[in-house]
Structure 1
């Protein structure tokens, strides 16, 4: 048999079906003589954080353990609609040497030699710029709220030796805490959430 592949399908609402996605990608695998190992599908908003998407997390664990070569999606939006989350998944797959095949573009993120595909890199570059603008907008909103808080008499800053209270930190990183409780590796949680390994270790210690 050829390369080992898995299918990932997603629809946004419970009254939608992902059968068409699965059928098209199953036919694609057969046409290319790829060994279809598993199919992961979910009914969830693509704007949800990766850490909240159980099927996506199951797939990530599966492809690493079973040495899968490719992940198949009908279009990039099936992987998610939040640009930052999609980029995190692509980066995680790239780091594992697993190619993402995007059917509607007919491109893969990696070449046969395991290098980043120039065409897919162009796509990712555009997505990265969109993500940069999204981060900038979020940062501006946070700064605006901060200045508004101070303008209305709010006090900011820390006393010497200040340390976040346990419950505050766990609330701030509640999604990461959920994944730690489920025994996901620090590396995978970092790839899915972007939270640094050192911070994840602190959260784990607090738990």
Structure 2
């Protein structure tokens, strides 16, 4: 009898794709007795908070409801923020949801159903490495931009460019969804400008700008 599984794949930018991750994980499933019931993919920074990552939340909910193992290509696909990664891992551990990371060859639970004895130590160590790598990338990018500016280069949007609702949907997908719900008549303190700005750690003017775009659409 095959084991039930889902695939979760993530890339950080719109120009990347998840095809390789999905193919590798499907091949792993085929060779290890898993039947893949669903595939969840998203294009979003791993530094984002879990509540901003709709596909990740849907994948965990689906696995919880259907008793599936989550197949993930590597730990950094789950996130590059150690606090958020540990939240996901602890939730899955407490709800007996197994997660397999292909690159690290690490599962939350062993074949006998027992928790991996060094699980939390390994997760914390690997997550810290992923976070350090992200910070190093940001440092190199900033250094490159500073050097480019010092030589007279200009960075940023071209003159006359206007931010579109699609830009906001890419950067703040869950915030745009909440504001659409509000525009469709949902009520409650959750949808106030201040509450949404605090929840998604953005400037209130950003919430107001998105709301104005949605009303004009």
Deviation sequence 1:46-81 (CA, Å, 0-9, x none): 01110011101111221122121x111111001111
Identify the residue that residue 10 of structure 2 maps to in structure 1.
Answer: 10
What is the distance in 2 between the residues matched to 1:22 and 1:128? 22
Q: Note if contact 1:107-1:119 (Cα within 8 Å) is conserved in structure 2.
A: no
Cα gap change, 1:28 to 1:127, in 2 (>3 Å): closer
Q: Deviations over 1:88-107 (max 9, x none)?
A: 11111111111111111112
Alignment of 1:142-181 (within 5 A): 170-171=195-196, 174=199
TM-score of the pair, normalised by structure 1: 0.61
Aligned to 1:143: none
Q: Distance in 1 between matches of 2:127 and 2:58?
A: 25
8 Å Cα contact 1:87/1:127 also seen in 2: no
2:112 aligns to what?
A: 113
Whether 1:40 and 2:65 are equivalent positions in the alignment is: no
2:53 corresponds to 1:53:
yes
Q: Matched residues in 1 for 2:77 and 2:49: separation?
A: 14
For residues 68-107 of structure 1, what are the structure 2 equivalents within 5 Å? 68=68, 70-107=69-106
Alignment of 1:186-201 (within 5 A): none
Deviant stretches of 4+, over 6 Å: 165-169
The alignment yields a C-alpha RMSD, in angstroms, of 2.7
Q: Counterpart in 2 of 1:26?
A: 26
Structure 1 residue 112 displacement after superposition:
2.3
Bigger relative contact order (CA 8 A; separation at least 6): 1
- Structure 2: give runs of 5+ residues left out of the alignment: 130-188, 201-217
Q: Kindly tell me the number of residue pairs found equivalent between the two proteins.
A: 142
Q: Distance in 1 between matches of 2:25 and 2:128?
A: 29
The 3-state SS of whatever aligns with 2:103 is coil
Q: Verify the 8 A CA contact 2:8 2:72 in the aligned structure 1.
A: yes
Please list every run of 5 or more consecutive structure 1 residues that lacks an aligned counterpart in the other structure: 131-164, 176-207
Q: Structure 1 residues 14, 169: CA separation in 2 closer, same or farther (over 3 Å shift)?
A: closer
* Contact 1:13 1:44 (8 Å CA) reproduced: yes
